[in-house]
Structure 1
Amino acid sequence: MRVFNAILAALAMLPAAARAQESTAAIAMLQKALPPCALNCMVELIPRSTCDLTNTTCICTNAPLNEQLGICVLGGCTVPESLVMKNVSLTMCGAEVRDNTDLPYYIAIVGSAVTTFFVFLRLFLVFMPGGKRPGWEDGLIVLCLALCLVPGGLSGPFKENGLGRDLWYLKPEQITNILRFYFIGEIAYLQGMGILKIAILLFLLAIFPDKTFRKSVYVTIGLCVAYCITFLVATIFQCTPVSYSWTQWDSLHEGTCNNIHLQAWMSAIINIVLDVIVMVLPLRQILNLKMNWKKKASVLSMFLVGTVVLVVSIVRLQSLIQFSNSTNISWDYVPSSYWSILELDIGIICACMPSVRGLILRYFPKALSTRMTKGSHGYSNGLGSDNKFSRNRAPSGLSKSDFIPLVNVHTTEGGIRRELDA
């Protein structure tokens, strides 16, 4: 593009007669900067306008001419050639070169680091001496972290290939790479969100013994499993061949695709519905706890912090709708990319909050010291428990290993004791 600008500048300095004599030579030199189809459009249309080839200002401000050039290029050039032409024309006209590559990169890096720290705290509660007995939910949280680190790890390649820059400034291979990374990251995101909900639901099974409630939880787990399987298959095979998901942009490859944008909207909407179900399920159980309103509000606030995930899910859906109409995917995908990462990060952090509370109760018992019971079942409020603690009586039909009562954990000189209301 610098060659092109240098040519125009040199031509502009020549007398009018000399310009006419040098036009043929200039056009020959421009062949190095423009694809033949685009050059033909310029050579054909510019002389018909009120501009000449050396008048950059006239060319850039002549709206009818630019509209005709756009139609000509779209009709006679491939997509990659059209992008080269747009790059040349915008560079010639001094358009701003936008760069937003840092924002999604740093959000992914910081989010991954903070999420890893919270998962580490959760695992510390499990593996420390006298800690909480590990459960399936802990393993699923670790799996969620691994899936979360996939888009986090791709943030570097995304940045290197130009995510956050305008499409016409990128090389064809960079555009293909961005779409390939998007394909991988979308699979990791969908599976991570589904598995995260299952982990939270398994945690609810461990602390609430009500039979009707548990049946509702099992049904919701089934819905989450169906969500994971359905959208895993639908995403992998959204195009035939699979590689067409990241090569279709140039219109040079053959293949077919489902309505990818509709599929993304459906997955986002179902994800939001499942978020609402998971958030609402424990509310009745918590409200039935016999405690004063301040203590009840404290426990509710820990569960309702999941509303942040719900809000992020809605914002992400909005960004997906805007992205569906994009012709500048490397720029317009930025909001969808970081909202997807933030949604999964915040969800994992919320799932780890009860464990963080358990650690605070273990080492700073006065900070969260409360006493509460739930009438007929006689359990109290802590969120950490292990097989060394005495357990409340589990409801009939459930083994003791299936039931983790809410207890207060306190440290004493003699070790660990559980404080229950008399």
Structure 2
Amino acid sequence: MQRGGIAIERILLLSMGFGTGHNAAAKALECQFAKQRPHLSVEVVDLLKLIPGSFHPLLQSGYQGMLNKFPTLYHYLYDWTHHNKIIRYVSSEMIEKMGWTIRKKLSQLFPDEPARIVTTHPFGTLLCPADWENVLTVGVVTDYELHPIWLARVPDVLCVPKQLLRRGDLERIQWKTGLKLLETGIPINPAFYEEVSALEARLQLGLDPNRPVVLIMGGGTGLGPLEQIVEELKGFTWIQFVVLTGKNHNLYQRLKKKHDCPHILIEAFRRDVALFMSAADLLVTKPGGLTISEAIAKRLPMFLFEAFPGQEEANQQYLLHHRVAMITRPSTIRIQIEKFFSPGFNRQRIRERFTPLLSPGASRRIVRETLTAKEPVVQTL
């Protein structure tokens, strides 16, 4: 296809597999490109996989290990790069210097530079080969905060969640950086925007259609105090609890052994999370960017526990600000559940607050912008 005199033959979609959100957003965009431009070459690259095999698992476990064992240290590192320009500059320079392996492999994989680059991780623009500097880049923010590392090497277009920034902030960032800032929303699997009634979903899943459903999740790896939460809630026999343990097999086995109750359903990794969210009245979860984006699409109120410092705290604050979630912990969740399902509590009002946050056309708009954005003007003396 032709845009502005330049043939667009290849789109390079970059992500970085820390957690699941960046890769999931890239997958949603890949599917949308295939739908809108089936003859276009779109290649997805997880930059983490370009790091040597002996170092890659260490890097991944180091990231997860820091979050699990040293959350305060991670908080300081995240916060420093957020607020301190000098540390942010040094961090971006270190990322660029340490990324020589990634840049070399990208050059080998793609000797002819792509026509467009879309990245769902801020490192994507920092780790591209130097001779790609004139390729048009589109950044896609997958958490509910615009971390300044996105502006260390400014993309030409930056797509952010709905209602994240005030209009004045949007205009100020565009004026200072020259980028085009769009409130597209976060791209997710379109199944989460499909209209499925709670009754229909419960019948498909074999749940009692007449009793409330509370969905409990700990992300793809089943993190957080899920065992304590289930223990606290098991006495509410008039509520159906569905616990998704993700890929945490040990947690699944422990919960299955301990809670052989008809009103508590323990499930391992499931691909039909959208259907479970349609069936649920409430989601109890960690505030990961992917999970809460899916819950927003389903207008599903949330109780949030143990937000990791950094992105998850920002995600949590976003939901609290828009009054669609509240913070919980094992010691308070029973009282909160009783209040949530009490006759006088207006759950429908919470669902209505999701309306300005919805972005069913996020993938479609990002793809359209990628294909139609004007090439950056290269000025020479």
Q: What TM-score does the superposition give when structure 2 sets the normalisation length?
A: 0.22
Richer in helix (by share):
1
Richer in strand (by share):
2
Rg: which structure is higher? 1
Q: What TM-score does the superposition give when structure 1 sets the normalisation length?
A: 0.20
